[in-house]
Amino acid sequence: MKAFGDVKHIAYAGIDALILYFDGATLDEANHACIRWLTAIENGNKQFPSQWSWLIECVPSYDSLLIVFNYELIDSHGVYKALEGLQIESVHSSLEKGAQATIAKEDSSDTKLIPVWYGAPNASDLSVVSKQTGLSIDDIIEQHTSVIYRVYAVGFAPGFAYMGEIPTKLQCPRLGTPRKRVPKGAVAIADRQTAVYPSESPGGWNLLGLTPSDMVTHDVHGSTSRLTSGDKVRFVAISEEEFKAYNEG
């Protein structure tokens, strides 16, 4: 299938799915394209449900979008033609028309705040990170809270959001041997990314602290991830007392 617009490559993922890979000079640029396409497809499905009745699911990631379809209603060529018909403006052409201002506007929109008790006893590798990076513990906290992160993908576990990129000075590799148990709410870093463990699970990232915020909400309709691809997030340091009082009352 021939690529078009922001789509630099299209790959088959079985008989009922296609993966769109997006172009971009940076990961952020490619991810912006991914989210634009996701939004356009979702809007098309809402406005013309009969025309998109074949659509089962869209799964965004860093620079790609998995599109799962009902192969009894449409084939891959039909999906390709439907996507081609969306005619989404490409990153490059829109940047030429001043889309950098549009991206800046997007980045200034609502940012989700996640409070963190840095150094919580059952979720702290601060001394390990300090040795690996040469930063003091105060510097680690300052570096981690200094960035507005972008959610590139949600996976591994429900509500586990991969966010980037952390400051270069703070980057350090995953643990050599993953833990069997990481507590719910653990805020962690690995390589260029940061994340929050939404529930207790195994994990090999470096732990910085705990958040009292739930990453997944549950109601009669099911479970919902607090963070989705394209969200902007900032971490905010809180004290132990604030952590303990967070969900009281």
Residues 109-146, buried b or exposed e (16+ Cβ, 10 A)?
Answer: eeeeebbbbbbbeebbbbeebbeebebeeeebbebbee
CA 35 to the chain's CA centroid: 11
Confidence of residue 100 (pLDDT cuts 50, 70, 90): very low
pLDDT at 161 exceeding the cut of 90: yes
- Taking the model in full, what pTM does it have? 0.80
Q: State the DSSP H helix or E strand holding residue 127, giving kind and residue range, or none if neither.
A: helix 126-133
pLDDT at 144 over 90: yes
How far, in whole angstroms, is CA 207 from its chain's centroid? 19
For helices 137-144 and 126-133, what crossing angle results, to 10°? 90
- Please provide residue 55's backbone torsions phi and psi, each rounded to the nearest 5 degrees: -75, 125
* pLDDT for the residue 90: 55
Adjacent-strand bridge partners of 188: 195, 207
Cα–Cα dist 166/177, whole Å: 22
Task: Output the pLDDT for position 102.
Answer: 40
Q: Residues, the chain, total?
A: 249
Domains of the chain: residue spans and CATH: 7-106 (3.30.1360.40), 112-245 (2.40.100.10)
**Token match 């929050």: residue?**
196
pLDDT digits (tens, 9 = 90+) for 166-220: 999 999 999 999 999 999 999 999 999 999 999 999 999 999 999 999 999 887 7
pLDDT band per the 50, 70, 90 thresholds, residue 249? low
| E-strand stretches of 155-214 | 161-164, 179-182, 186-190, 193-196, 201-203, 206-210
